[in-house]
Structure 1
């Protein structure tokens, strides 16, 4: 079975991707766990070198990737740059600069009164295999915002892009492969709800889900039954607050932009 990707502006078919075999999940997990056991031993400096190459490739291919996002997602080319390419480069810069500090073992003073003169030693260990399910509305920015910190901290990732934007998901996969990420440290799977459900029920160690509140509730219940750590980014109902001293013309423009940007398909868009 194939996923057919269609340009929402023209309804033109722009590509097809073979769906992941739902019966292959045990093998996928085994490959991820084997790759992660190797990847976590790579020094943080060597991991960062790979992410510098990812940033370089993304920057060099920015025009191609921005046009792919516009073609598959439908947003204007300006928004593909301003809300996808540019912030993703910023995320890469952030973790390239901060990862050493964030992951460095350190002493920390205990704040419990009865142990006020004691210190604890903190070391960070990766979860293992992290599942990431991302939506179609920001097909580059949202998954990269999860994939980058998960990988740079020593986890392996199984990534499921939205079935509506699989070509952007495939491009994300190729960015890391081109940058020299070891085989199976990032695996990308394709399909609809049944593939996402199989990922949630598989033997992963952590899950990130970005999507609807309805699906988030279902995932939360499934994760709770197996004590799977899960991070959910769901829909919102966000207000705009205009204070008495505000510039009303500027506020009005900001409210309209915050409501209709990306056709309103943003979890933090202005809705009231």
Structure 2
């Protein structure tokens, strides 16, 4: 895993050269907000063993019992949301409104998973055909066992809940390793679960650094769900491959927007600026770049420019967004903006002097070449690229070539046409006349394609990610045609072939 020696988390060695304590700091002020143990291999082994001890109880408890307990957990989180919001703000620096929205979205996903698991995973009958009408078949979904969840730093409640809630609702136990800078958030979630089932560690949180995350990948759990940077996602895949552990990967890069000639430009500009700048541009559901039809480009850019210039980052309630949560990500923003400008791009709002740790003021770039790292790499930060395109075909080609396959927003009044183009886009989600709000729909599967993501969270697909299929077929009466025997009746075989030709010939 990548080096974790970030200024936000100071590591103290226990004498063996390996950090034993992580000290977390508020990115807004640098004040210490918590110290946490670095879980070692023995700690991890105990946590996985504990999860195994209750795996059978939880998996056989049934959908009804799991629903009841998960909804009880939901109510505890909702009643104490202000407490969780405060911890979230201390660890990430988010404005209160942003932190509150994140908690609400997480609770909505927990509620949906608990209420819909039976419908999505319960056993149901499957129709037979004319050859097998004597068979009664059904399919159902069973839990995998123990799921390891590696949480991100950008949205440390909402994003991991997209795995935790769905895995638990499907009947799995979970060992959760939150990101080191948001350890307190992860422990709070596990502590509130213990109030629901004190002696049932269905959810366990372990704090630690990248060595802890690597150990979880090697621990023999039944699946790993990871959310975070692409480079670390590849390492998770590599580590899990050593034990043939399947993975769900959600990388942290943002998506793209297309603004067609007939778009409502005010709406598109609002969505573009929100998607690029909200949470200091640290949302995987956000907008990295907008491709705008030439005939409306100047008008759209004017609207975006005015909105971006009005934003003010900071630590008070009136701030538009908060700080960069990881100092290392500030340097990523600097490197990408510098590369875009060096290759001929122009800054129409902000620029390199907008980067004033721990805050990055809004930056809007234009005429950025498609080979710039500001486009080819994951965009994390309050930066929006606005490039001119000839038409929809040109926009689709550029988006597919860049390969950031999570989400594309299309603003147009021609709904019929955009649905045709949507199927040509190599993206997991396509939205029309809206941008990031699709992540608020718990029933909607969330996931990318290609290197961007493997697997899905949310919705029925999210529940089935943490399940295995069990098909059952039973014989109701003797086989009418006697074909499943080496002692076949010639007349019945002739009849079967006649029916076959009639049906399919």
Q: 1:232 Cα deviation (Å)?
A: 0.4
Q: Secondary structure at the match of 2:148?
A: strand
Q: 1:182 Cα deviation (Å)?
A: 4.3
Structure (1/2) with the larger helix percentage? 1
Is the contact made by 1:104 and 1:123 (CA closer than 8 Å) also made in structure 2?
yes
Map of 1:126 onto structure 2: 143
Distance 1:68 1:25 in 2: 25
Q: Deviations over 1:92-130 (max 9, x none)?
A: 22123212212211122479x987997642121111110
Map of 2:207 onto structure 1: 190
Residue 156 of structure 1 pairs with residue 149 of structure 2: no
Map of 1:102 onto structure 2: 120
Map of 2:83 onto structure 1: 64
Map of 2:34 onto structure 1: 15
The structure 2 residue matched to 1:77, chosen from 93, 96, 107, is 96
Cα 1:117–1:70 shift into 2, 3 Å? farther
Distance 1:178 1:141 in 2: 21
Distance 1:219 1:47 in 2: 30
Cα 1:201–1:114 shift into 2, 3 Å? farther
Q: Deviations over 1:147-200 (max 9, x none)?
A: 111112211111000000111011111121122264222111111100000000
Distance 1:119 1:244 in 2: 55
Q: Secondary structure at the match of 1:16?
A: strand
Is the contact made by 1:220 and 1:230 (CA closer than 8 Å) also made in structure 2?
yes
> Does 203-212 or 39-48 show the bigger shift?
39-48
Map of 2:57 onto structure 1: 38
Cα 1:174–1:110 shift into 2, 3 Å? farther
Is the contact made by 2:214 and 2:239 (CA closer than 8 Å) also made in structure 1?
no
Q: Secondary structure at the match of 1:154?
A: coil
Is the contact made by 2:224 and 2:245 (CA closer than 8 Å) also made in structure 1?
yes
Is the contact made by 1:50 and 1:181 (CA closer than 8 Å) also made in structure 2?
no
Q: Which has the higher relative contact order, 1 or 2, with Cα contacts under 8 A spaced 6 or more apart?
A: 1
Distance 1:200 1:255 in 2: 37
> Does 65-74 or 23-32 show the bigger shift?
23-32
Q: 1:39 Cα deviation (Å)?
A: 1.5
Q: Secondary structure at the match of 1:123?
A: strand
Alignment of 1:1-272 (within 5 A): 1-82=20-101, 84-109=102-127, 120-180=137-197, 182-272=199-289
Cα 1:227–1:253 shift into 2, 3 Å? same
Cα 1:3–1:109 shift into 2, 3 Å? farther
Give RMSD over aligned pairs: 2.1
Q: Deviations over 1:6-59 (max 9, x none)?
A: 111111111112221223333322221111122212122111111111111111
TM-score by length of 2: 0.51
Is the contact made by 2:110 and 2:166 (CA closer than 8 Å) also made in structure 1?
no
Q: Secondary structure at the match of 2:256?
A: coil
Q: How many residues align?
A: 270
